[in-house]
Amino acid sequence: MTYLSIVIPVYNAEKTIANLCRDLITLLGLRYRLEIVLVNDCSRDNSGIICREIHAEFPDVVTCISLSRNFSEHNAVMAGLHHANGEYIVIMDDDFQNPPDEVSTLVAEIEKGFDVVYCHYSEKKDSIFRNFGSYLNGSMARVVLSIPANLYLSSFKVINRFLRDEIIKFSGPHPYLDAIILRTTRNISSVLVRHDERRSGRSGYTFKKLVSLWGNMIVSCSLIPLRIIGISGAALTVLGLYSVASAMVRDLLPMLADPSDLEKMASVTMFFRGFQLVATSIVGEYVGRIYMKLNSEPQFIIRDMCQATTNGGSEHRD
């Protein structure tokens, strides 16, 4: 029987998380050896209490992890992946927008030999703001991460054990999960699944959190901003050289109008500003590489955990 783990980052989901776990166990418990890893990302409601109750109800299936503060969704998923033991690991949301009955669709596809299977939707049941944010995120990812044009980076996906083991090697404080996946493998597939209405509450992705997510994608996983600065500096340097040369020619040839003092100053200034940007980009490239390698800020901190056990017991860790 296939060993299947399901990692669910939980944030303010007190009205949905219990029913979601029960539905997953009812639908998948007989088909797979099932493990559900709930990661409570310091919710403001009673989600933590309910996660513990679900663990007590299904101690041989549900692992409950509580983080010490809100670390964001991707960090919570990383915490869950560290404690997921399945042959395949499904990552899904806590609000029923990812239908439990579609999990088997993802698993059937990854069993064909892929490392990761994303899902895509014929219609998304999100707000206009959330859909626009997803569109921007996908557009930026295509530039920064060089993803295939037809690949949608959904939060609902399944990965195999090999990829899970590679993902958790990343120790940086600001993980962007899809970037880690895409730098590891291109053995990727995608399946069409249903996207349902949110059963309760609203999306936890505020504009501030979306900007932070984009920052993680660009700054933590790419040196493109520094390289854009370098290219801009090189272009300004070339224009500055051209302007200086043009001013010198006009100054030497009597048939041409002499350049004004303002033109001379602008030419020299353009050259040196471009040179400064190039130098800043080179230094920044070194600093950026050191930062990406050495930053030791934690990805997550576990306050306590109730570990599922195969013999039906329960193990509590602080």
pLDDT, tens digit, 9 for 90 and up, residues 47-57: 999 999 999 99
Residues above pLDDT 70, as percent of the chain: 75
Give residue limits of the domains in the chain: 3-222+298-317, 224-294
Apex 209 CA angle, 203 and 210, nearest 5: 85
Which CATH class, in words, describes the domain spanning 3-222+298-317? alpha beta
pLDDT at residue 207, as a whole number: 59
**What is the edge-to-edge ordering of all strands in the sheet holding 3-10?**
188-193, 116-121, 157-160, 88-91, 3-10, 33-40, 62-67, 302-308, 314-317
pLDDT, tens digit, 9 for 90 and up, residues 124-148: 766 665 666 666 666 666 666 667 7
What average pLDDT does this structure show over 265-276? 78
Q: What share of the chain is helix, strand, coil (3-state, %, to 5)?
A: 50, 15, 35
pLDDT, tens digit, 9 for 90 and up, residues 196-248: 887 776 655 555 666 666 666 666 666 666 677 778 778 878 887 888 788 77
pLDDT at residue 235, as a whole number: 83
Q: What is the pTM of this model?
A: 0.73
pLDDT, tens digit, 9 for 90 and up, residues 154-186: 999 999 999 999 999 988 777 889 888 988 999
Report the b/e string of 171-188 with b at 16+ CB within 10 A: ebebbbbbbbbbebeeeb
pLDDT at residue 137, as a whole number: 64
